Structure 1
């Protein structure tokens, strides 16, 4: 499989997970919970002290989230390695095609063109609200959020786990890429919290685009074309890089 392409797809999956209707609308409430500040205070107080508190708690929240996601990615990779050790021959191609079909189905679900009622169950850990959480508590909340199977994040991250199982040894790489994709907009919106209301209006469109990309990825995986596309892109980048390097030294 084309690892370079898949890593960027994993980053994109993380971004879509954050921008999904399951996460972005409740993002201010999560910040309020982990910092002990009101949503109004978070949105209106622009002081450096408040920004520092928001960023610090966000980093610890993402640490907890990342620990769960990366652990799951490692487990999926080990499971895939175990299955490949049991079977040989055409089994690898069969697993690849099963993964492709699964990702296509999840893409149809994310885009809203297919309905799986059992995926709509929310199993996030629930904790009684407290006025203030310490950093350890914030890590725990991040772990609880990651452990939940929410209607949007569950199918998207499940697709990343399937990719990790399909290509043993890459589980941690793909899940780290996913966490980075989730973390970057999380931190940006923490700094510019007022902009989240603008993006929420377009979350439906974002999910349809994300679902369509997942379907395309599933088709490429099923047909075995992901490696070919990755090689083409790699050659394109290398040719461009060497061309620009030559222009710098010889012009």
Structure 2
């Protein structure tokens, strides 16, 4: 009887440990859903895009069951720290200010900022040429911050909740130009809406690394994600995802 009780106890302990492991491997991905081609909503309201494909590939490597939680960009770090989700895959740039609030993984792509404007306009990106122009950017991004830091005195800056709204105003003639991530601008320029617009000048900022954010101190999750990132880089999964969205390497 004692042996039988020990067997039952061992079985119960094993089940509890197994259940705990399964629970630990259910992770929630936070994203914005308004930043094509990196994250956007499809016709069914599901989050799709480069960010989500990368996130799912990482979940597969980690053996985790992952779900997606949407958040407005302005509140996305507070939502992460409020435990609305476990890690954030939303094309977030690593900045010193953000590193005070969250921890970052290694980069999963590199980025830069570049102006776009109508093809018909002689648009230069030096301070004298930009003076008096109305330039749009997304709020709480390095593009908006760069404009304010470098041209806050000579440019009228309009900040938007999403890049999509900035593009709408550009197409409607309410903006002289938009400054945004070059790959997001490239996606819009390839669309029908962007056919009369083009890049202007060289990128103004290229030292931009995009990474996954996790809550401060969650070293274990950072290490798991970094290991998975290395694995998808090595086995060709990353390249397959990259080539699905871009005809060039964005790593």
TM-score by shorter chain over 0.5: no
The higher-RCO structure (CA 8 Å, 6+ apart) is 1
- Decide which structure has greater helix share: 1
Instruction: Please indicate the TM-score interval, normalised by the length of the shorter structure.
Output: under 0.3
Larger Rg: 2
TM-score, scaled to structure 1: 0.23
TM-score, scaled to structure 2: 0.23
- Decide which structure has greater strand share: 2
